[in-house]
Structure 1
Amino acid sequence: MWNKRLGIDLGTATTLVYVQGKGIVLNEPSVVAVAKNTGKVLAIGREAREMIGKTPEYIVAHRPLKDGVIDNYEITRKMLSYFIQKVCGRSIFKPDIVICVPSGCTEVEKRAVLDAAYHSGARRAYLVEEPMAAAIGAGLDITGPSGNMVIDIGGGTTDVAVLSLGGIVVSRSIRVAGDKMDEAIVRHLRKKFNIMIGERTAEQIKIEVGCAVPPDQDKSIQVKGRDLVSGLPKEITVTASEIHKCLTEPLSSILEAVRMVLEHTPPELAADIGEKGICLTGGGALLQGIDVLISRSTGTVAYVAEDPISCVALGAGKVLDHLKELREGFLFTKGRNR
């Protein structure tokens, strides 16, 4: 009996689904729009994301995952069911699913993800830690005795890990990533310009002019928001150098996590990392100059993976082909045939 095998990067900001033999077939925002009074789901994914900050009182646009873990179980389950059904259709066969979780997840948080997977229609569910999946998806050989270092910067968490012999040797997960960068931009504009902007606008600013190191060319962007004094719409010009300054705090937290992992890395593996460099994955790796910042801070070459956003989902999809080698790298729970 044939059943589909799915790799799911269940992210705070975005969910990606990899289907074995087809590649990544779904890339949708992890957002659900719900009717406040009835709890009825009105929209999921891209359509729901368009509603953030624009809904009437009776509609709430939820992001059911916070800091990389489930914040609202029931809404997460509905979202996961929707994505799985969208990929698999109304098949009578249950899929085997690998879902990625941050390396700092507690057992309770892991159990919540597994339960959500089963109640969403999984035949068997596996959990793999995000840096493990990211390394596999980036094409690193983690099964040998040589050391590899991965920094996965997502929406809710940054996972830093050193891997060798098919497992994680040293890791650290912090709840500082893309969302905290967006919040830093919102705070800065509110404090300096008395203007309030939404999270989508902040993300757009980060994408267009955000940079981890002082920019060579000080690009600017027009930003529209609400004046906190008059309450009227207001437009301002924001420069790249200004955004660089306000991103210093979240980036410092990421650098501190990287240094802590390197300090606890065995000398032999540290030598391997010095030779190979540090691989950056996740959406946060696309922030301009972040590889340069990490290289300067650690004295080790850092480079961005070929397709950083897809690495975790690709790795999750490939895990099912290598269960024996990676047995220690993930939590496995026997499936239920239903």
Structure 2
Amino acid sequence: MSAFSTDIGIDLGTCNTLIYVRGKGIMANEPSVVAVERGTKRVVAVGDDAKRMLWRTPGDIIAIRPLRDGVIADLETTEKMIRYFISKVIPRRWFVKPRMVIGVPSCITEVERRAVEESAYKAGAREVKVIEESLASAIGANIPIFEPAGHMVCDIGGGTSEISVISLGGMVVSNSIRLGGDEFDESIIKYVRSVHNLIIGEQTAENLKMTIGNATPDSKLEKMEIKGTDAITGLPRRLEIDSVEVREAIQEPITAVIEEIKRTLGQTPPELAADIVERGIVMTGGGSLLKGLDTLIANETGVPAFKAEDPMNCVAMGAGMYFSHLRGANANRSIYNSIK
């Protein structure tokens, strides 16, 4: 491989896009939002600048999220977004195109997978490898995936949650549902409207979840003031909401994630299940940062659960380290074969 070439890992998330450059670390972490000019589709802003425009744009500018439920909903805009992020992390003087590894949910179709590859090639990749988010997050969480033992990873992203059992570098069991942090936010929005007749936006709901949200009862009752539009009068209004209400609001999507974890455990071969009981469930993705979620999962499944060291960045880091891990695994196999 040329000294001028590089490996790039991309976590193409519904909420955020993260880019990891091998040897340099996370070089980009921005919202998966693109602001375009209505009619011409000319890109006005990408990432943080575009997110600030969501629901605040004038009539001639549209701020859109080109990915929904972990897959590409708008191919052209996604390509422009990837190209923008790549241009931020790779100097233009580098004339050798990078190799890209992209983490995607295992539930996407072959057509959706090809759309991801096509976007990456058009954005300037010389080689594209698409791998499951669970596999990428396991590598990013420093799990020894090539050893003959079972490891369970639960990756809760913005649009999808993926639970997988990995052994000998492959997926033994994998289940994925199109539900993640976005659904937590949506549940809060619906709850506040139905219980308090207040209409709030996605950013307010996300702030509530991150600030006072919890998955298990807490001894300390936390409160937070929010602002929105009264559903009856149409006038702006303030409201104080507490952590118990937020927990009640997100109970349904959390239960769905736990049921998927239980289903995956039920499909796991006994020998690997024994390994998982000993090693625990490793949680990655932004959704795993919800306070008390690891405790709730452990209580509901009887299996220890804990957050990875850097859950938000695991998929991007693992994708970026994929080729080097593969080389290491192949080298170990060669040594083993020569001994035999």
TM over 0.5, shorter chain: yes
Letter in 2 for 1:227: D
Shift in Å, 1:325: 6.9
Find the counterpart in structure 2 of residue 228 from structure 1. 231
Q: Deviations over 1:138-175 (max 9, x none)?
A: 11111011100000000000000000000010010101
Which consecutive segments of 4 or more residues in structure 1 shift more than 6 A? none
Find the counterpart in structure 1 of residue 34 from structure 2. 32
Find the counterpart in structure 2 of residue 111 from structure 1. 114
Find the counterpart in structure 2 of residue 334 from structure 1. none
For the 8 Å contact 1:143–1:325, the answer to whether it is kept is no
The 1:195/1:284 distance shift into structure 2, 3 A limit, reads same
Shift in Å, 1:326: 7.2
Find the counterpart in structure 2 of residue 15 from structure 1. 17
For the 8 Å contact 1:167–1:326, the answer to whether it is kept is no
Letter in 2 for 1:159: E
2:317 to 314, 319, 335: 314
* Secondary structure at the counterpart of residue 159 of structure 1: strand
For the 8 Å contact 1:101–1:130, the answer to whether it is kept is yes
User: RMSD of the TM alignment (CA)?
Assistant: 1.1
For the 8 Å contact 1:161–1:172, the answer to whether it is kept is yes
* Secondary structure at the counterpart of residue 226 of structure 2: strand
Q: Deviations over 1:93-143 (max 9, x none)?
A: 211110110011211111000000000000100011000011111111110
Matched length: 327
How far apart, CA to CA, are the structure 2 residues paired with 1:4 and 1:53? 37
* Secondary structure at the counterpart of residue 237 of structure 1: strand
The 1:326/1:49 distance shift into structure 2, 3 A limit, reads farther
Letter in 1 for 2:303: T
* Secondary structure at the counterpart of residue 79 of structure 1: helix
In the alignment, does 2:309 pair up with 1:282? Answer: no
Structure 1: unaligned runs, 5 residues or longer:
328-338
Shift in Å, 1:322: 2.5
1:191 to 179, 189, 194: 194
Question: Which has the larger helix fraction?
Answer: 2
Structure 2: unaligned runs, 5 residues or longer:
331-340
Find the counterpart in structure 2 of residue 73 from structure 1. 75
Letter in 1 for 2:240: T
* Secondary structure at the counterpart of residue 322 of structure 1: helix
Mapping of residues 1-338 of structure 1, within 5 Å = 1=2, 2-90=4-92, 91-323=94-326
Shift in Å, 1:5: 1.2
* Secondary structure at the counterpart of residue 318 of structure 2: helix
How far apart, CA to CA, are the structure 2 residues paired with 1:105 and 1:318? 23
Q: Deviations over 1:36-61 (max 9, x none)?
A: 12211100000000111111122111
TM-score, normalised with respect to structure 1: 0.95
Shift in Å, 1:324: 5.2
Q: Deviations over 1:253-289 (max 9, x none)?
A: 1011101100000000000000011000000111000
* Secondary structure at the counterpart of residue 263 of structure 1: helix
TM-score, normalised with respect to structure 2: 0.94
